[in-house]
Chains A and B, each alone.
Chain A
Amino acid sequence: GAVVSQHPSRVICKSGTSVKIECRSLDFQATTMFWYRQFPKQSLMLMATSNEGSKATYEQGVEKDKFLINHASLTLSTLTVTSAHPEDSSFYICSASLGGGNQPQHFGDGTRLSIL
């Protein structure tokens, strides 16, 4: 149980393109979803927390107009990297939780974004 699917797994596109990444909880309803960014051989850096039906809460230093998050249902959240540039190239990972303080997060397999 607790499967999270993330799509696509890899994206290569030109600078200036907007890229949408989907995160789905397949067998449970996720009250809360999280979006992370990870650089090679480093830990996860939280970008934003999204709760179904409300606006996402962004971490300090993360541009909300650059990284648009939508959490329209209990099983789907999307991250759109708008007008992506090479510095946005990274590994983006989502996770889903039932919500509440001690509920574990279940992670997707990540999306490798490469901007040329």
Chain B
Amino acid sequence: EAGVAQSPRYKIIEKRQSVAFWCNPISGHATLYWYQQILGQGPKLLIQFQNNGVVDDSQLPKDRFSAERLKGVDSTLKIQPAKLEDSAVYLCASSSRRSDRGLGYTFGSGTRLTVV
């Protein structure tokens, strides 16, 4: 099966600019996750979708971050305006529930954002 697709792979922007990331999950995966990974830390969940509904966005900085998954398939994550501390790798993942083997989480290659 095809993996989780993310674009772009790299992005450099100036602070106060806006940026958008795109994710296309594995076909049929109802759950989609966006994680933020700052250098030297583990990934932190920003938002979780179940189909096109938000399940958990408790750690999403809503004053500057937004995400949508309009048709329950691909998703976009936007930052506006960006701050220096937003420099990180943004990871998209999708999952399917398999009762015999637990959850199968698959991660994309990530987008490395540098804010200067």
Whether chains A and B associate is no
